[in-house]
């Protein structure tokens, strides 16, 4: 570095706005947060029975070479869903399988998911239980968890879809099967249908 540049830097250091260093540090911090990478084999903090990789794996993405990497915001949504819904379910009902978690726009299109699907925001997962029926799983979540939407999909052989959106958990219960297209229903309606 030339002596002249050193001199100018020292001079600039003396006269610059005293608030500037704080702003620079803040920008650097935000920059790092935007590029935070999760180790896919790590357990999710606060949801010890779930690993990050469970929420992004997809046979379709693998087969077709579709990128399904979440952004930082998506990772945080995955963490909120796992901590607030899935871990409590796991603690009370035993092991769960996540059959579909995050879906990038491209993957969602390939799997013919709804255009406004919460899967694309990493706010939803499709799950099944190894221990209890889908109806019992649905009923337990309905009675014990906060959620934005809970969907009985193609019961009794299908899956439970649960979506969690912080600040928007209005507990909508819906039904999807050959006769119902995400119809808003009561829990009793579903129980009568599939008892």
List residues binding Zn ion (CB under 5 A).
Answer: 126, 161
Question: For the range 114-117, what are the long-range contacts, defined as Cβ-Cβ under 8 Å and sequence gap of 24 or more?
Answer: 114/182
CA 161, CA 184: separation in Å to the nearest integer?
14
Closest distance of CB 127 from Zn ion, Å: 9
Q: Which one, 36 or 114, has the nearer CB to Zn ion?
A: 114
Q: Which one, 39 or 97, has the nearer CB to Zn ion?
A: 97
User: Nearest to Zn ion by Cβ — which residue?
Assistant: 161
CA 78, CA 90: separation in Å to the nearest integer?
16
Closest distance of CB 149 from Zn ion, Å: 9
Q: Which one, 90 or 161, has the nearer CB to Zn ion?
A: 161
Closest distance of CB 99 from Zn ion, Å: 9
Q: How far is CA 105 from each of CA 52, 82, 116, 152, rounded to the nearest angstrom?
A: 19, 21, 10, 23
CA 91, CA 87: separation in Å to the nearest integer?
6
Closest distance of CB 170 from Zn ion, Å: 17
């Amino acid at each position: 570095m030339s002596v002249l540049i050193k001199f100018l830097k020292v001079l600039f250091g003396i006269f610059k706005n005293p608030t500037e260093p704080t702003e620079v540090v803040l920008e650097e911090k935000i920059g790092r947060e935007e590029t935070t990478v999760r180790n896919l084999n790590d357990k999710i903090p606060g949801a010890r029975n779930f690993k990050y990789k469970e929420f992004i794996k997809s046979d379709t993405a693998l087969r077709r070479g579709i990128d399904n990497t979440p952004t930082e915001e998506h990772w945080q949504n995955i963490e909120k869903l796992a901590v607030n819904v899935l871990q409590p379910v796991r603690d009370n009902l035993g092991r769960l399988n996540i059959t579909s978690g995050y879906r990038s726009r491209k993957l969602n299109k390939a799997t013919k998911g709804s255009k406004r699907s919460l899967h694309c925001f990493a706010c939803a997962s499709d799950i099944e239980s190894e221990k209890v029926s889908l109806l019992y799983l649905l009923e337990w979540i309905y009675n014990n968890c906060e959620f934005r939407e809970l969907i009985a999909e193609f019961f009794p052989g299908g899956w439970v879809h649960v979506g969690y959106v912080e600040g928007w958990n209005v507990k909508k219960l819906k039904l999807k099967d050959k006769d119902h297209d995400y119809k808003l229903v009561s829990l009793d309606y579903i129980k009568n249908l599939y008892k």
